[in-house]
Chains A and B, each alone.
Chain A
Amino acid sequence: MKLVETHLKRRTILKGGAAALATLSAPAVLRAAEPAPIKVGILQPVTGALAQDGEYGRLGAELAIEDINKAGGIKSLGGAKLQMVFGDARSNPEAGTQEVERMQEEGVVAIVGGFASPICLAASQAASRYDLPYLVDVGVSDQITGRGLKNTFRFAPGFSICTAAAIQNLVRINEAAGKPAKTVVLVHEDGLFGSGLAKLMATELPKHGFEILEQIAVPTPSRDLSNVTLRLRSLNPDLIIPSTYYGETVLLARTMQQQRVRPKAVYAVLNGAASNRRFVAEFPEAAEGVMDCNHWYDPRNEKSKAVQARVEATGKPYNYNIPLNYSSVALLADALERAGAAERGKVIEALNTSTFKDHLMPYGETKFVNGQNTGAAPVSTQVQKGQIKVVYPGVFADAKPMFPANG
């Protein structure tokens, strides 16, 4: 720790000295020259299994940096520009940690990103050794902000916030429609994510008057979900809650369509496909009416609409990774602005007192408690006529829920 401090101090002194020299010797025009750029680490998996998500995350961060610099950089630091130091987490925690070390060497002031929970967990821990602020973009594991690390912040909602909101939204949507849904079947992938979620649902939903008919675990990858569909057909539940990854969700939705299983609603939570634009584009019929409680941007936010238009002009879908990373970088820029110094300790302090509102997400004011933004919440979306619409909560909704989905 001491090493870092002296290093920093020496650098500050050197910088100050150099600046003084420059001011003395340079002609008037150069005296107004730009201050040194502030290095920001952007960590995303852009190769390996998570490459797709990582690319979207990088795009969001790039757009934010571009916009902040265009608007005059960090004003309290003399208009210093942000400079991206990109690191490829290669879809695994070890590579993420290596990239953190490299970014530390390059002298970044903070790191944003990580995407997957395991990468976020390892990378934020590595960054904590240097008191380097780490902003998690997506990773939902409760553990990320549960370790008491002073440097780690998550702008997006974590797992327990998401599931609590998912249950609350479902209960309210159902009540508003006159409680048409009573019986539930949970279809979940048999790993940590799906089983954990199913267990939680199975204890919470009965408290709200739902009856859990069965919990069906499916392996990832699944070759065939005909039997699951058969069981669904014989159980005939009002509501199906799938917590599976992309491939299995698509397979299930397709098999259900083929086998004519039409529950009153399909309500997914943090699902890999239900609010994915590709799923909707490729299987409009199977996707129609499917609901999901997940990260999503604020569809009414003008700034978000502008970013969306820019992204879509390049032919890319506006997936949630983009606004989440855009907002996280903007949040960091706001903290830098208020800190008035590109110093890690001051940035952490500024993040802790943040009330940042100028983001693209359907969240209120940012307020960090133990590193978790308590102003964050997921929204419930539904595929309606080939479009993904926010249907709950009403403040952010751009459509009314179709519940039951099949009339």
Chain B
Amino acid sequence: MYSPTILIEAMINGLLTGAIYALIALGLTLVYGVLHIINFAHGAILASAMFAVWGLNVLAGIDPYLSILVVTPIFFGLGYGVQRLVIGPAAKGDDGNILLITLGISIFIENALLAGFGSDTRSISSDFSFSVIEAGPFLISSPRLVGFAGSLVVTALLWFIMSRTDAGKAIRAVAKEKLGASLMGIDVGHVYALTFGLGCAALAVAAGLLMPTFYVNPRVGGAFVNIAFTIVVLGGMGSIPGAMIGGLLIGLVESLSGLLLGESLGQIGIFVIFILVLLLKPTGLFGAKA
């Protein structure tokens, strides 16, 4: 059996990875909570954000962490625009259509990336990518630690926006009762776009935190979206703290089951949780009652 050192280090790794999963799940859960629809383009948007971070680094030499400041507003704007100009009008008032439209958008983005960048796998290398913090017997990757902290900050920020600002109140109002909200003078189209924009912005931050240690190719989003979906279900659809705690939990389970059962079989742990949650507590840990 493995020594406790390895088990503990695997748990630390799992938590650090889980925080990034959580960040990716945040956008998904937010869009679900308000638009009541799974955004199929989530993975493709993540891939394009990662390409943006990579491009800024290669072309302009901008550090991936700094590029978050550039890429996040751009992706917020893009998300807002796409919802306002493409998804909204194309949905023609029926939320069910959004599902198909986002699927279409994901196919479009993936192929645009493929046409623009080819199917190559690319990555950013800096000295920081390889730096570690030595804590006793443990070697903890510094970029992952930064990713963990960044993810917590973004979650806190989003939670603050949602619970303390007028925009957040409007979003929550639309999520609860669309018709009622619009009768109170809330511009539902604007709130939808705002939510979609926030979801994209969260992905942009995740991209900046991921790139120092991960690689990007046009299909990279697929690696994260399945897991993000599991986290959304576990945490409760639409719940921000649920996404964070769900992410950490899934990271931990994945890491431990990967260590004990092997990387391939270890994925089972995640999906066992997924099925158990659907069976026993379909609303998730923090989900509102349907």
Whether B224 contacts A223 by the Cβ 8 Å rule is: yes
Give A residues with C-beta under 8 Å from B.
48-52, 190, 216-219, 221-228, 230-231, 233-234, 246-247, 250-251, 254, 257-260, 278, 282-283, 285
Contact of A257 among B9, B118, B130 (CB under 8 A): B130
Q: Is the CB of A190 within 8 A of B130?
A: no
Chain B residue, CB-CB nearest to A249 = B121
Q: Chain A residues near B2: list those with CB within 8 A.
A: 231, 234
B95 within 8 A of A: no
Q: Does B53 make an interface contact (CB < 8 A)?
A: no
Determine whether B99 belongs to the interface, using a CB cutoff of 8 Å to chain A.
Answer: no
Per the bound structure, the CA–CA distance linking A260 and B133 in Å amounts to: 12
20 additional A-B pairs beyond A221-B223, A230-B6, A254-B130, beta carbons within 8 Å, are A217-B264, A219-B264, A219-B267, A222-B223, A223-B227, A224-B17, A225-B263, A226-B10, A226-B13, A226-B17, A227-B259, A230-B10, A230-B13, A247-B121, A247-B217, A250-B215, A258-B141, A259-B132, A260-B132, A285-B130
Q: Which of A50, A227, A246 contacts B10 (CB 8 A)?
A: A227
Check A52–B132 contact: CB distance below 8 A: no
- The answer to whether A228 and B263 touch (CB under 8 A), given A247-B121, A247-B215, A254-B129, is yes
Q: How large is the interface on B (under 10, 10 to 19, 20 to 34, 35 or more residues)?
A: 35 or more
The answer to whether A283 and B125 touch (CB under 8 A), given A52-B120, A230-B259, is yes
**Binary interface profile of B, 116-152, with partner A (CB < 8 Å = 1, else 0)?**
0011110101000111100000010100000000000
Cβ contacts under 8 Å, B119 to chain A: 48-52
Chain A residues, CB < 8 A from B17: 223-224, 226
Answer yes or no: B213 CB below 8 A from chain A CBs.
Answer: yes
**Alpha-carbon distance A247/B120, docked complex (angstroms):** 9
CA of A48 to CA of B262 in the docked complex: distance in angstroms?
A: 31
B contact residues around A234 at 8 Å (CB): 2-3, 6
Closest B residue, CB atoms, query A247: B121
> Which A residues touch B215, using CB under 8 A?
247, 250-251
Q: A247 — which chain B residues lie within 8 A by C-beta?
A: 121, 215, 217
**B89 at the A/B interface (Cβ < 8 Å)?**
no
Within 8 Å by CB of A190, from B120, B131, B264, lies B264
**B241 an interface residue at 8 Å Cβ cutoff?**
no
